[in-house]
Amino acid sequence: MTESTGQTAIAHTNIALIKYWGKADSALNLPTTSSLSLTLNEYFTKTRVEEAAEDTLLINDLPQDSQRVHDFLNVLREEKGDFSPVKVISENKVPLSAGLASSASSFAALTAAVAKYNGWDLSLEELSRLARRGSGSATRSFFSGFAIWEKGSNDHDSFAHEFNVPDLPIALVVCKISGTVKKVSSSDGMRRAQTSPDYDQWVAESAKQLDEMKQALSQGDLDRVGQLAEANALAMHDLNLTATDRRFTYFNQNTMKVLEQVKVLREKGYLAYATMDAGPNVKIITNQEQAPAIKDFLVERFRKIQFDIATPGPGISYE
Protein backbone atom coordinates (compact mmCIF):
# COMPACT_ATOMS: atom_id res chain seq x y z
CA MET A 1 0.00 0.00 0.00
CA THR A 2 1.32 3.43 -0.77
CA GLU A 3 1.62 5.91 2.05
CA SER A 4 -1.39 8.28 2.12
CA THR A 5 -0.75 11.94 1.69
CA GLY A 6 -1.56 13.83 4.82
CA GLN A 7 -0.86 16.77 7.03
CA THR A 8 -0.12 17.02 10.76
CA ALA A 9 -0.69 20.02 13.04
CA ILE A 10 0.10 20.49 16.72
CA ALA A 11 -1.92 22.81 18.98
CA HIS A 12 -1.33 23.42 22.67
CA THR A 13 -4.18 23.82 25.09
CA ASN A 14 -4.90 27.07 26.87
CA ILE A 15 -6.20 28.14 30.25
CA ALA A 16 -8.50 31.15 30.45
CA LEU A 17 -7.56 33.83 32.99
CA ILE A 18 -10.68 35.77 31.99
CA LYS A 19 -13.29 33.16 31.13
CA TYR A 20 -15.63 32.45 28.27
CA TRP A 21 -18.83 31.36 30.02
CA GLY A 22 -21.90 32.01 27.93
CA LYS A 23 -23.05 32.20 24.33
CA ALA A 24 -24.80 34.99 22.50
CA ASP A 25 -25.35 32.58 19.59
CA SER A 26 -24.96 28.88 20.25
CA ALA A 27 -25.03 27.78 16.60
CA LEU A 28 -22.13 30.07 15.73
CA ASN A 29 -20.44 29.87 19.16
CA LEU A 30 -20.49 33.65 19.55
CA PRO A 31 -19.63 34.43 23.18
CA THR A 32 -21.25 36.93 25.53
CA THR A 33 -17.82 38.17 26.69
CA SER A 34 -14.30 38.51 25.36
CA SER A 35 -11.82 36.19 27.09
CA LEU A 36 -8.09 36.02 27.69
CA SER A 37 -5.91 32.93 27.99
CA LEU A 38 -2.43 31.54 28.42
CA THR A 39 -1.28 28.79 26.06
CA LEU A 40 0.42 25.96 27.95
CA ASN A 41 3.62 24.20 26.99
CA GLU A 42 2.98 20.86 28.68
CA TYR A 43 -0.35 19.85 27.12
CA PHE A 44 -1.10 19.55 23.41
CA THR A 45 -2.96 17.68 20.68
CA LYS A 46 -1.28 16.38 17.55
CA THR A 47 -3.68 15.74 14.68
CA ARG A 48 -3.05 14.20 11.28
CA VAL A 49 -5.49 14.43 8.39
CA GLU A 50 -5.27 11.88 5.58
CA GLU A 51 -7.33 11.04 2.51
CA ALA A 52 -9.97 8.37 3.16
CA ALA A 53 -13.14 6.82 1.73
CA GLU A 54 -15.29 8.52 4.36
CA ASP A 55 -14.79 10.93 7.25
CA THR A 56 -13.48 8.96 10.24
CA LEU A 57 -11.96 9.86 13.58
CA LEU A 58 -9.34 8.10 15.69
CA ILE A 59 -8.38 9.55 19.10
CA ASN A 60 -5.41 7.99 20.90
CA ASP A 61 -5.73 4.93 18.62
CA LEU A 62 -9.43 4.41 19.38
CA PRO A 63 -12.09 4.87 16.66
CA GLN A 64 -14.65 7.49 17.70
CA ASP A 65 -17.97 8.45 16.23
CA SER A 66 -18.01 12.11 17.05
CA GLN A 67 -20.95 13.94 15.55
CA ARG A 68 -19.28 17.14 16.67
CA VAL A 69 -16.21 16.48 14.50
CA HIS A 70 -18.32 15.38 11.51
CA ASP A 71 -20.42 18.53 11.77
CA PHE A 72 -17.29 20.65 12.08
CA LEU A 73 -15.68 19.14 8.95
CA ASN A 74 -18.87 20.05 7.10
CA VAL A 75 -18.72 23.61 8.44
CA LEU A 76 -15.18 23.86 7.01
CA ARG A 77 -16.46 22.55 3.64
CA GLU A 78 -19.25 25.13 3.58
CA GLU A 79 -16.89 27.92 4.58
CA LYS A 80 -13.82 27.22 2.48
CA GLY A 81 -14.86 24.82 -0.28
CA ASP A 82 -15.54 21.13 -0.57
CA PHE A 83 -12.83 18.55 0.06
CA SER A 84 -12.86 14.75 -0.14
CA PRO A 85 -13.45 12.65 2.97
CA VAL A 86 -10.64 12.52 5.51
CA LYS A 87 -9.37 10.26 8.23
CA VAL A 88 -8.57 12.32 11.34
CA ILE A 89 -5.93 10.77 13.60
CA SER A 90 -5.54 12.59 16.87
CA GLU A 91 -3.08 12.11 19.71
CA ASN A 92 -4.18 13.91 22.81
CA LYS A 93 -1.47 14.86 25.30
CA VAL A 94 -3.95 16.63 27.52
CA PRO A 95 -4.57 14.35 30.50
CA LEU A 96 -8.32 14.33 31.00
CA SER A 97 -7.64 14.23 34.72
CA ALA A 98 -5.96 17.64 34.48
CA GLY A 99 -9.33 19.21 33.81
CA LEU A 100 -7.94 21.25 30.98
CA ALA A 101 -10.21 21.68 27.99
CA SER A 102 -8.93 19.20 25.41
CA SER A 103 -11.53 20.55 22.98
CA ALA A 104 -9.43 23.73 22.69
CA SER A 105 -6.28 22.04 21.40
CA SER A 106 -8.25 19.38 19.49
CA PHE A 107 -10.31 21.76 17.36
CA ALA A 108 -7.37 24.13 16.85
CA ALA A 109 -5.14 21.28 15.62
CA LEU A 110 -7.93 19.88 13.41
CA THR A 111 -8.65 23.26 11.81
CA ALA A 112 -4.97 23.89 11.08
CA ALA A 113 -4.36 20.37 9.73
CA VAL A 114 -7.39 20.47 7.40
CA ALA A 115 -6.47 23.94 6.13
CA LYS A 116 -2.88 23.00 5.33
CA TYR A 117 -3.94 19.63 3.88
CA ASN A 118 -6.21 21.46 1.43
CA GLY A 119 -3.60 24.09 0.63
CA TRP A 120 -5.71 26.93 2.04
CA ASP A 121 -3.46 29.85 2.85
CA LEU A 122 -5.13 31.33 5.95
CA SER A 123 -4.01 33.78 8.63
CA LEU A 124 -3.95 32.65 12.26
CA GLU A 125 -6.93 34.93 12.89
CA GLU A 126 -8.93 33.25 10.11
CA LEU A 127 -8.01 29.79 11.46
CA SER A 128 -9.13 31.01 14.89
CA ARG A 129 -12.45 32.24 13.48
CA LEU A 130 -13.08 28.87 11.83
CA ALA A 131 -12.06 26.84 14.91
CA ARG A 132 -14.65 28.77 16.95
CA ARG A 133 -17.37 26.74 15.25
CA GLY A 134 -15.85 23.56 16.72
CA SER A 135 -15.26 24.86 20.23
CA GLY A 136 -15.06 28.40 21.56
CA SER A 137 -11.90 27.94 23.58
CA ALA A 138 -10.13 26.60 20.44
CA THR A 139 -10.03 30.17 19.06
CA ARG A 140 -7.22 30.93 21.54
CA SER A 141 -5.00 27.89 20.91
CA PHE A 142 -3.27 29.19 17.76
CA PHE A 143 -1.13 31.73 19.58
CA SER A 144 1.91 31.51 21.82
CA GLY A 145 1.70 32.98 25.30
CA PHE A 146 -1.36 35.13 25.91
CA ALA A 147 -4.34 35.40 23.54
CA ILE A 148 -7.52 37.43 23.58
CA TRP A 149 -10.70 36.18 21.93
CA GLU A 150 -12.57 39.34 20.98
CA LYS A 151 -16.23 38.48 21.25
CA GLY A 152 -17.21 40.49 18.18
CA SER A 153 -20.83 40.65 17.12
CA ASN A 154 -21.08 38.24 14.20
CA ASP A 155 -19.51 35.22 12.51
CA HIS A 156 -16.91 37.40 10.79
CA ASP A 157 -15.50 39.42 13.65
CA SER A 158 -15.39 36.91 16.51
CA PHE A 159 -11.88 35.42 16.71
CA ALA A 160 -8.71 35.57 18.81
CA HIS A 161 -5.36 37.30 18.42
CA GLU A 162 -2.08 37.19 20.26
CA PHE A 163 -1.62 39.57 23.20
CA ASN A 164 2.02 40.44 23.32
CA VAL A 165 3.55 41.11 26.71
CA PRO A 166 7.14 41.37 27.90
CA ASP A 167 8.46 37.97 29.05
CA LEU A 168 6.46 37.03 32.14
CA PRO A 169 7.64 34.19 34.45
CA ILE A 170 4.09 32.92 35.00
CA ALA A 171 3.51 29.28 35.97
CA LEU A 172 0.55 27.15 36.94
CA VAL A 173 0.43 24.39 39.50
CA VAL A 174 -2.20 22.04 38.07
CA CYS A 175 -3.97 19.99 40.75
CA LYS A 176 -5.35 16.81 39.22
CA ILE A 177 -8.32 16.22 41.49
CA SER A 178 -10.25 13.22 40.25
CA GLY A 179 -13.73 14.05 39.08
CA THR A 180 -16.37 12.56 41.33
CA VAL A 181 -19.00 15.12 40.37
CA LYS A 182 -21.49 14.38 37.62
CA LYS A 183 -20.20 15.84 34.40
CA VAL A 184 -21.98 18.84 32.93
CA SER A 185 -20.62 19.73 29.48
CA SER A 186 -19.34 23.28 28.98
CA SER A 187 -22.17 24.06 26.57
CA ASP A 188 -24.83 22.82 28.97
CA GLY A 189 -23.14 24.49 31.92
CA MET A 190 -23.09 27.82 30.09
CA ARG A 191 -26.72 27.53 29.05
CA ARG A 192 -27.71 26.98 32.67
CA ALA A 193 -25.37 29.65 34.08
CA GLN A 194 -26.98 32.18 31.75
CA THR A 195 -30.23 31.72 33.71
CA SER A 196 -28.60 33.12 36.86
CA PRO A 197 -30.03 36.50 37.98
CA ASP A 198 -26.39 37.58 38.36
CA TYR A 199 -25.43 36.80 34.76
CA ASP A 200 -25.63 40.34 33.29
CA GLN A 201 -23.60 41.67 36.20
CA TRP A 202 -20.90 39.05 35.53
CA VAL A 203 -20.77 40.06 31.85
CA ALA A 204 -20.35 43.74 32.79
CA GLU A 205 -17.72 42.97 35.44
CA SER A 206 -15.83 40.69 33.06
CA ALA A 207 -15.28 43.54 30.57
CA LYS A 208 -13.71 45.65 33.33
CA GLN A 209 -11.59 42.74 34.53
CA LEU A 210 -10.33 42.15 30.99
CA ASP A 211 -9.17 45.77 30.69
CA GLU A 212 -7.44 45.56 34.05
CA MET A 213 -5.92 42.20 33.15
CA LYS A 214 -4.39 43.64 29.97
CA GLN A 215 -2.86 46.41 32.05
CA ALA A 216 -1.57 44.07 34.74
CA LEU A 217 0.03 41.79 32.12
CA SER A 218 1.65 44.71 30.31
CA GLN A 219 3.07 45.93 33.62
CA GLY A 220 4.26 42.43 34.56
CA ASP A 221 2.20 42.62 37.76
CA LEU A 222 1.65 38.90 38.36
CA ASP A 223 0.02 39.44 41.73
CA ARG A 224 -2.70 41.57 40.12
CA VAL A 225 -3.01 39.03 37.27
CA GLY A 226 -3.71 36.32 39.84
CA GLN A 227 -6.20 38.44 41.80
CA LEU A 228 -8.20 39.27 38.70
CA ALA A 229 -8.17 35.70 37.37
CA GLU A 230 -9.33 34.30 40.70
CA ALA A 231 -12.11 36.86 41.06
CA ASN A 232 -13.29 36.21 37.50
CA ALA A 233 -13.28 32.42 37.96
CA LEU A 234 -15.01 32.41 41.35
CA ALA A 235 -17.75 34.69 39.99
CA MET A 236 -18.15 32.37 37.00
CA HIS A 237 -18.67 29.41 39.33
CA ASP A 238 -21.15 31.43 41.43
CA LEU A 239 -23.30 31.68 38.31
CA ASN A 240 -23.56 27.89 38.23
CA LEU A 241 -24.65 27.85 41.86
CA THR A 242 -27.27 30.55 41.29
CA ALA A 243 -28.64 29.26 37.94
CA THR A 244 -32.42 29.14 38.02
CA ASP A 245 -32.34 26.25 35.54
CA ARG A 246 -30.98 23.32 37.59
CA ARG A 247 -28.24 25.06 39.59
CA PHE A 248 -25.10 22.96 39.89
CA THR A 249 -21.43 23.02 40.77
CA TYR A 250 -18.26 21.54 39.26
CA PHE A 251 -16.55 21.64 42.66
CA ASN A 252 -16.12 18.69 44.98
CA GLN A 253 -14.75 18.49 48.53
CA ASN A 254 -11.15 18.39 47.35
CA THR A 255 -11.72 21.49 45.24
CA MET A 256 -12.81 23.31 48.39
CA LYS A 257 -9.88 21.95 50.41
CA VAL A 258 -7.33 23.00 47.78
CA LEU A 259 -8.96 26.45 47.54
CA GLU A 260 -8.56 26.75 51.30
CA GLN A 261 -4.84 25.93 51.02
CA VAL A 262 -4.41 28.54 48.28
CA LYS A 263 -5.48 31.10 50.88
CA VAL A 264 -3.05 29.60 53.41
CA LEU A 265 -0.26 29.84 50.82
CA ARG A 266 -1.07 33.52 50.33
CA GLU A 267 -1.03 34.13 54.07
CA LYS A 268 2.43 32.57 54.09
CA GLY A 269 3.52 35.14 51.51
CA TYR A 270 3.36 33.05 48.36
CA LEU A 271 2.00 34.33 45.08
CA ALA A 272 -0.91 31.90 44.66
CA TYR A 273 -4.32 32.40 43.07
CA ALA A 274 -6.82 29.82 41.87
CA THR A 275 -8.73 29.34 38.67
CA MET A 276 -11.15 26.53 37.76
CA ASP A 277 -12.96 25.46 34.59
CA ALA A 278 -15.71 22.96 33.80
CA GLY A 279 -14.48 20.41 36.35
CA PRO A 280 -13.29 20.00 39.95
CA ASN A 281 -9.60 20.69 39.26
CA VAL A 282 -7.83 23.76 40.55
CA LYS A 283 -5.06 25.52 38.64
CA ILE A 284 -2.89 27.73 40.82
CA ILE A 285 -1.44 30.82 39.20
CA THR A 286 2.02 31.66 40.48
CA ASN A 287 5.53 32.42 39.19
CA GLN A 288 8.13 29.95 37.98
CA GLU A 289 10.33 30.48 41.03
CA GLN A 290 7.64 29.65 43.57
CA ALA A 291 5.84 26.88 41.65
CA PRO A 292 8.02 23.97 42.92
CA ALA A 293 7.64 25.03 46.58
CA ILE A 294 3.87 25.40 46.15
CA LYS A 295 3.72 21.97 44.57
CA ASP A 296 5.74 20.46 47.48
CA PHE A 297 3.49 22.18 50.02
CA LEU A 298 0.41 20.64 48.40
CA VAL A 299 1.94 17.18 47.84
CA GLU A 300 2.51 17.05 51.63
CA ARG A 301 -1.14 17.79 52.34
CA PHE A 302 -2.90 15.92 49.53
CA ARG A 303 -1.32 12.49 49.10
CA LYS A 304 -3.97 11.34 46.62
CA ILE A 305 -3.87 14.33 44.31
CA GLN A 306 -1.29 14.60 41.52
CA PHE A 307 0.30 17.92 40.69
CA ASP A 308 1.92 19.22 37.49
CA ILE A 309 3.70 22.48 36.79
CA ALA A 310 2.72 24.16 33.52
CA THR A 311 4.43 27.09 31.79
CA PRO A 312 3.71 29.32 28.75
CA GLY A 313 3.57 27.42 25.49
CA PRO A 314 3.94 27.92 21.72
CA GLY A 315 1.41 28.62 19.01
CA ILE A 316 0.29 26.27 16.26
CA SER A 317 2.93 24.25 14.42
CA TYR A 318 3.04 21.70 11.60
CA GLU A 319 4.98 18.50 10.88
Residue 186: CB minimum distance to ligand DP6, A: 4
Report the half-sphere exposure of 199 (CA within 13 A, side-chain side): 21
Residue 189: CB minimum distance to ligand DP6, A: 8
Residue 199: CB minimum distance to ligand DP6, A: 15
User: Rule CB under 6 A: which residues touch ligand DP6?
Assistant: 16, 19-21, 29, 35, 101, 103, 135-137, 186-187, 277-278
Residue 103: CB minimum distance to ligand DP6, A: 5
Residue (212 or 297) nearer to ligand DP6, CB: 212
Residue (7 or 279) nearer to ligand DP6, CB: 279
Residue 16: CB minimum distance to ligand DP6, A: 3
Residue 52: CB minimum distance to ligand DP6, A: 25
Residue 6: CB minimum distance to ligand DP6, A: 26
Residue (23 or 116) nearer to ligand DP6, CB: 23
Ordered DSSP codes for the chain: -PPPPEEEEEEEEEEEEE----EEETTTTEESS-EEEEEEEEEEEEEEEEE-SS-EEEETTEEE--HHHHHHHHHHHHHH-----EEEEEEE-S-GGGT--HHHHHHHHHHHHHHHHTT----HHHHHHHHTTT-GGGGGTTSSSEEEEE--SSTTT-EEEEE--S---EEEEEEE----SPP--HHHHHHHHTTSTTHHHHHHHHHHHHHHHHHHHHTT-HHHHHHHHHHHHHHHHHHHHT-TTT---S--HHHHHHHHHHHHHHHTT---EEE--SSS-EEEEEETTTHHHHHHHHHHH-TT-EEEEE-B----EE-
Residue (80 or 191) nearer to ligand DP6, CB: 191
Residue (137 or 196) nearer to ligand DP6, CB: 137
Residue (7 or 29) nearer to ligand DP6, CB: 29
CA separation, residue 100 to residues 145, 161, 264, 293 (Å): 16, 21, 24, 22
Residue (19 or 116) nearer to ligand DP6, CB: 19
